[in-house]
């Protein structure tokens, strides 16, 4: 297989939420491919810091503003990207809003989550996907979660203050898996592929008791770091995966295989 199959050189890739835990690592790894990376989230100043750090390394990374739950904002971003960089080749839906606090969090928090994480994700597929379909090529990678495949493992959190988990996350991460299949089927005839990745937990200095139990539950005996997701994203964005669409691939150190 030619190594060029993995190339994203000069491609235009939109990554939502490029300053967060997973997003910062994705921004760095995607930037190294030689693609033009557009980061988009509500806090542009935070993204500009990332863009400046990557630009200083000689990469092409730009910051744009987006409220994913607002259709006008999604459409405006699409117009700005097309005008400034030309047609988009790849979209990574990484952004997530976590407004709901616990199993009994307010209904308004659930609704706010759906605005961004359900309606918003659909809008990203609708507007950016349609443009890719019109161009006759493109790849969308959705960042899901192992929590879109399995239910909460309450036993991992015993003795910590992390155990009160919100239902919205399981709802929209589970929904993302089948939304991926919907758009893979819709856009497939236009050579636009849509896939989902299901990352495991990211190491973020969690309590020792949780870390021990979580790591033992994986096959690789560790949590994820900022370098673990990028390879799978690059693979799914590139021609190396040209016959792969509609899948949900765990990137979880074996967590869901056990
Ligand atoms: N952190 C983990 O352990 C973990 C595990 C599995 C999957 N994931 C998934 O990985 C992805 C990244 O997670 P993370 O932990 O890095 O998240 P994070 O909270 O660190 O970052 C989320 C990003 O989304 C952006 N965002 C929030 N609301 C937005 C909106 N309305 N419009 C545009 N952008 C918005 C934020 O600005 C932020 O940059 C998410 O999809 C998450 O579900 C994370």
The predicted pLDDT at position 3 comes to 66
pLDDT, tens only, 109-157: 999 999 999 999 999 999 999 999 999 999 999 999 999 999 999 999 9
Mean pLDDT of 60-89: 97
Are the beta carbons of 121 and 128 closer than 8 angstroms? no
Rounded to an integer, what distance in angstroms lies between the CA atom of residue 50 and that of residue 27? 8
Asked whether 202 lines ligand 1 (CB < 6 A), one says yes
For ligand 1, atom 18: residue with the closest CA:
20
The predicted pLDDT at position 2 comes to 64
- May I ask the CATH class of domain 3-257? alpha beta
Alpha helix (H) ranges present in 96-192?
107-114, 120-124, 130-135, 167-187
pLDDT, tens only, 183-236: 999 999 999 999 999 999 999 999 999 999 999 999 999 999 999 999 999 999
The predicted pLDDT at position 1 comes to 54
Report the nearest atom of ligand 1 relative to the CA of 202.
Answer: 3
Give the pTM: 0.98
């Amino acid at each position: 297989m030619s190594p060029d199959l993995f190339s994203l050189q000069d491609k235009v890739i939109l990554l939502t939420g490029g300053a967060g835990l997973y997003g910062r690592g994705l921004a760095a790894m995607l930037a190294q491919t030689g693609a033009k990376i557009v980061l988009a989230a509500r806090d542009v100043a935070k993204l500009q810091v990332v863009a400046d750090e990557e630009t200083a390394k000689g990469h092409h990374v730009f910051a744009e503003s987006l409220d994913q739950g607002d259709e006008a904002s999604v459409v405006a971003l699409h117009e700005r990207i097309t005008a400034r960089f030309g047609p988009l080749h790849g979209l990574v839906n990484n952004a997530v809003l976590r407004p709901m606090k616990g199993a009994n969090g307010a209904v308004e928090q659930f609704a706010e989550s759906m605005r961004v994480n359900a309606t918003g994700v659909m809008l990203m597929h609708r507007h950016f996907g349609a443009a890719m379909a019109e161009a006759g090529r493109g790849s969308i990678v959705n960042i899901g979660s192992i929590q879109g495949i399995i239910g909460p493992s309450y036993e991992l959190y015993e003795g910590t203050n992390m155990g009160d988990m919100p239902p919205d996350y399981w709802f929209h991460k589970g929904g993302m898996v089948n939304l991926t299949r919907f758009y893979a089927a819709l856009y497939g005839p236009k050579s636009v592929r849509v896939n989902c990745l299901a990352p495991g937990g990211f190491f973020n200095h969690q309590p020792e008791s949780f870390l021990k139990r979580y790591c033992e539950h994986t096959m690789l005996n560790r949590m994820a770091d900022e370098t673990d997701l990028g390879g799978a994203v690059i693979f799914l964005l590139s021609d190396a995966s040209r016959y792969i669409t509609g899948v949900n691939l765990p990137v979880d150190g074996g967590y869901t295989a056990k």
